[in-house]
Amino acid sequence: MNIKRQGNKPIASLSLDLDNVWSFLKNQGAPGWETFPSYLDIAVPRFLDIFQQWDLTITVFIVGQDAALEKNTKALQAIATAGHEIGNHSFYHDPWLHLYSEDEIEQEVALAEQHIKRVTHQHPIGFRGPGYSFSPAVLKVLARRGYEYDASTFPTFLGPIARAYYLMTCKLSKEERKKREALFGGFKEGLQPLKPYQWKMGKDRLTEIPVTTMPIFKVPIHFSYIMYLSTFSSEVALLYLRIALWLCKLTRVQPSLLFHPTDFVSQEDVPELSFFPGMSLPTYKKLAIVNKSLELISSQFNVLTVGEHAKSVAGARQLPVLVPQKR
């Protein structure tokens, strides 16, 4: 794979987790998710149009259940046709994937692969766990199935706070709450590296591209967080992003930054997701923030897919090696 570079700019990668309406409702314990409501016909054309304007190709992590439904075929095929890398985001989008047995994980990953490949004609080489969930068993399955990288780690100290807020606002049974006890990870997640490394599982190795958080402070800088800050002040939110990018360059972190479809829609488009942070921000403001963010990033970095990012770091130097621990 040829990695496009411009001048002496450092590299960055962009990705989008294609979480659908039903997955948000399911995780919230809200009714109606079982019919798999979708906003892909709204969100996908918007983000494809914006990335085309900026001449950027990114990685889109697709949920297998969406690929299995014919109503989503047109939107998912449009993503692949536009040249974006397709990644695996599990089949059922259960954030407690780390609780699955190895056999259950194998079935989950394989079923998602089957439907994603059938619809997009791409075989995923990268994986991101729903809710940043991973385990030694997940990584072992990925390595065995020939994946080149994982992108599930989220090095932040704010996981327990995010989980507390989530459990306060959701409507779940005691059994469902128990499944989500490790959602977003614990305080120790903040100790994970920001720079890429390799997982070692016996003889198997797998490159890890962490979702970047702000260097030093380890607070989130993904775009749903930027949108949430923008409900108070878009100027402050963009300043926050500028500071994060500056710290990345200062500490030589090659950022891997994350979008969601909710960054391209608002409660005007999807009233049932009005509970999600940042959805009160009008669509036109969200799209303006996305455009300004892409201007900031592409002016300072060579933007790659996550797959290109993984190939670049694997070939450039000896990566640190870590042994995964059970969460």
CB atoms within 10 A of CB 90: 28
Taking a C-beta distance cutoff of 8 angstroms, is the pair 156, 215 a contact?
no
Predicted local confidence at residue 185, as pLDDT: 63
Judged by average pLDDT, the poorest of 164-168, 191-195, 306-310 is 164-168
- Partners of 124 in beta bridges: none
Closest CA to 142 of 230, 100, 201: 201
Integer Cα distance of 322 and 154 in angstroms: 15
For the chain, give every domain's residue range: 11-322
**Structural tokens at position 121:** 């004609």
Q: pLDDT tens across 262-308, in order?
A: 999 999 999 999 999 999 999 999 999 999 999 999 999 999 999 99
Closest CA to 275 of 228, 237, 235, 236: 228
Predicted local confidence at residue 2, as pLDDT: 41
3-state secondary structure of 43: helix
Tell me what percent of the residues of the chain surpass a pLDDT of 70: 88
Residue 1 banded pLDDT, cuts 50, 70, 90: very low
pLDDT at 51 over 80: yes
Q: What are phi and psi of 51, to 5 degrees?
A: -70, -30
* Residue at token pair 């794979």: 1
Taking a C-beta distance cutoff of 8 angstroms, is the pair 111, 64 a contact?
yes
Fold assignment, 11-322: TIM Barrel (3.20.20)
CB atoms within 10 A of CB 30: 16
